[in-house]
Amino acid sequence: MAADGASVGLVGLGTMGRGLAHALTRAGLRVAAFEPLAGGGAAPDGVTVYGDLPAMAAALRPPRRVLLMVTAGAPVDAMIAALAPALAPGDIVIDGGNAHFRDTERRAAELAPRGIRYLGVGVSGGERGARAGASVMAGGPAEAFAAARDVLEAIAASDEAGRCCAHLGPGGAGHFIKMVHNGIEYAMLQAIGEAWLALRRLTGQDDAAIAATFRDWNEGALGAYLLDIAATVLETTDPQTGFPILDVIDDAAGQTGTGRWLVTEAMELGVPVPTIAEAVAARSLSAMTEARAALEQAAPGTGRRKSLPAAAFRDALLGSVIVSYAQGFAVIRAAAGRYGWPVAEETVATLWRKGCIIQSRLLPRIAAAYRHDPDLPILLLDDGLRDLLRGAERGWRRAVGAALEGGLPLPAMGSALAWYDALRGGRLWTALTQAQRDLFGAHTYARTDRPGRFHTDWPDGE
């Protein structure tokens, strides 16, 4: 192994891997790559491709840094099993895929006896981010991050404020934050989809008009990458039929599982994320194509149209996006407390300002909110964001109400509004729930006027 060997190993030259390879070489790093799939095409300039993992590892100078860009799950375990014998104590494996954070912690523990350090790194930005700079969320040993920092910063987006790359804590912290990112992404995509459908059904706009509406909204507080690309989609015509592209795309949505992971972990932490959960459920519901077709014939919706200005749906979308961020950051706060991670919400919001899928004009406001009050228990307590919600509330209610009356489902927008109302609504319905639980199961309840747990000798009722 020559002292002047390659700077970094890269396993996987798929769409993301090839984009990252270009970013690494632009930064002046020499890349030795292994591509496990045949037919990957010519190697990018400045990248040497090896036919087996030991040869690739031998081409790296110590400590060897190997970036894995392979499909999450079993393929990662298989690749680590094949790669580990070619590595030495002090070497670093960087998993840049969408791994579950618990898998990341397991893999780190398995490699530790060999002295191999493991970084679980969330990389967000898709194909564009891989080419132009991504948001990089790293977890694992701090000294391993320091030793691999040049690699990670080479693939990160940057602006005058610096690189969108940070170490977020030990173990699976980086992949956990990426999971939260993806959960917020699910909710934002769902809310934007609902806005499109509502504008189409309730205002009669066609896709070209909705694209123009989205472009207009994108100039204000709602400005976001996802809204921008939604407008691009709506401006696109299918070359084969001449129809708007959405008219020929099947609406049974797929999902990678990261949204479900987030909802599950939020439930484990006791954090309600109903808007994200509704977005995950909406994708599953969309796949129920036979049931949907049958019910559309047997019990069609009302189809009633209520005249409403497009601005009402802009307000509903703005409120829903703010709530989606708030739910995600609430999960981050709870996880940091549970797992002892030094994750700062301001750092995460700053990381997401550029390069990632959920980048938006709201994120600098969110970062500023946590900078002003690092102990903010929930994002909606920030004066500026609360003022935005207050300004959007009337239109938001009108939009959700019109959709309900017209038989149009808006699960993300509706659940976001209900979550917001429940948090600020004083006493809720749960006193009755607690009483019923005590009646049928003697589960006891707390009282408002004295400490302790209590049980009532309820009437039999028969």
CA gap 106, 176 in Å, rounded: 14
Q: Determine how β-strand 65-68 pairs with β-strand 47-50.
A: unpaired
Are 396 and 315 in contact, with CB atoms under 8 Å apart?
yes
The backbone region for 204, taken as left when phi is positive above 0, alpha when psi lies in -120 to 50, beta otherwise, is: left
Backbone angles phi, psi at 28, to 5 degrees: 90, 10
Cis peptide before 451 (omega within 30 of 0): no
Q: Which one is catalytic: 35, 105, 185, 194?
A: 185
Annotated catalytic residue 178: yes
Q: Which one is catalytic: 35, 105, 178, 345?
A: 178
- Residue among 390, 422, 357, 380 nearest 192 (CA): 357
Q: Determine how β-strand 135-139 pairs with β-strand 165-167.
A: parallel
Amino acid at 117: R
CA gap 399, 314 in Å, rounded: 9
Q: Determine how β-strand 158-159 pairs with β-strand 162-163.
A: antiparallel
Backbone angles phi, psi at 79, to 5 degrees: -70, -40
Distinct helix (H) and strand (E) counts, the chain: 18, 10
- Residue among 134, 131, 148, 55 nearest 98 (CA): 134
What token pair was written down for 92? 């670093």
Paired strand residues for 454: 445
Annotated catalytic residue 185: yes
- Positions marked active-site: 178, 185
